[in-house]
Amino acid sequence: MPEIRALGLDGVFELTPRKFDDDRGFFSETYNAAVLAANGIKTTFVQDNHSYSADVGTLRGLHYQLPPRAQVKLVRVVRGRVFDVVVDLREQSPTFAKWLGIELSAATGNQILVPVGFAHGFLTLEPDTEVSYKVGDFYSPDHERAVRFDDPEIAIDWPANVGRLRISTKDQRAPLLANAAVFAGAA
């Protein structure tokens, strides 16, 4: 059974699966719907995604999808390390525009559960980093959105010089939170 720890923003959890080591390597159960449901986390995943970043300082995000195609995500690192960030975009939430960051690594095997209503992104801390994540709805370009990684209203404290990051043109052109579509209604 994994260790499940609330991270301070409603619905965001760190999951750290147990590793069983022997002289051949290790085994770890990285996902179990019944264990999550027993802990009050009920979700269905429909798609697995995998990203590779060659360089340290590659920043991907802050991405999300709007309803009716909003996505819950379960994110883990399968090689390397990242600084993983979530931002609350639920307009009626007491933590709207607040963020939290956590280091995820292949060595620890920890994961982050990102609920619907949050933007997500990460910064690679090692070369040749691979991130794998499950999502609760299929990718939909019509519902895909992003918020600027360096928005001063959010003020994420990235562990690197933001002027020296590798960022896609698309992410560089993402709107500031004040101009972005967010999740209306109750949190």
Catalytic site residue from 50, 120, 133, 139: 133
50 given a catalytic annotation: no
Specify whether 143 is catalytic.
no
Pick the catalytic residue from 52, 63, 120, 143.
63
Output b/e per residue, 116-140; b: 16+ Cβ within 10 A.
bbbbbbbbbbeeebbbbbbbbbeee
Contact 83, 125 (CB under 8 A): yes
Active site residues: 63, 133
